[in-house]
Amino acid sequence: MIQRHSTQYEAVLASDRWRLLRAEVIRRAGYRCIACGRGGRLDVHHAHGYQNLGNERPEELQALCRDCHTAVHASRQLFNAGCLKVLLWIVLIAIAIQVMSWLIVSVMHGLTNS
Ligand SMILES: [Zn+2]
Ligand SMILES: [Zn+2]
């Protein structure tokens, strides 16, 4: 999967500071993916987003294998889409309740008036 990143991000990843930080995060994780425990090639994931780009602390980063890293980003996108769906449902249900109560009121009104 090819990801688009800013040139600042590219510069950070190419820096010696990042290389050291990356190694530190992976060392802290025991050279294993923190999600599934697999060893081997590990990515370092920005668990708290990219707002501290260039000044990350090791606590903000997570060692993840390729699969788990991809899954984290995919589930994050899914979660956002899911949130939107839930919101849409709430709006729909709210409208339905409004319509229902309006119908009930008008039927009751019609009954009492006739
Ligand atoms: Zn993993
Ligand atoms: Zn990531």
8 Å CB contact between 84 and 77: no
- Model pTM? 0.63
Confidence of residue 1 (pLDDT cuts 50, 70, 90): very low
Q: Which numbered ligand comes closest to the C-alpha of 46?
A: 2
Residues making up the chain, counted from first to last: 114
Cα of 6 vs centre of ligand 2, distance in Å, is: 14
Q: Which residues surround ligand 2, an ion (CB under 5 A)?
A: 45
Cα of 41 vs centre of ligand 1, distance in Å, is: 10
Q: What is the pLDDT of residue 35?
A: 95
Integer Cα distance of 27 and 3 in angstroms: 25
Burial of 63 (0-12, 13-18, 19+ CB in 10 A): buried
Identify the residue whose tokens are 């606590």: 59
Q: What is the pLDDT of residue 110?
A: 85
Cα of 73 vs centre of ligand 2, distance in Å, is: 6
**Which CATH superfamily is 7-85 part of?**
His-Me finger endonucleases (3.40.1800.10)
Q: Where are the domains of the chain?
A: 7-85
Q: What are residue 63's DSSP bridge partners?
A: 44
What percent of the chain has pLDDT above 70?
A: 95
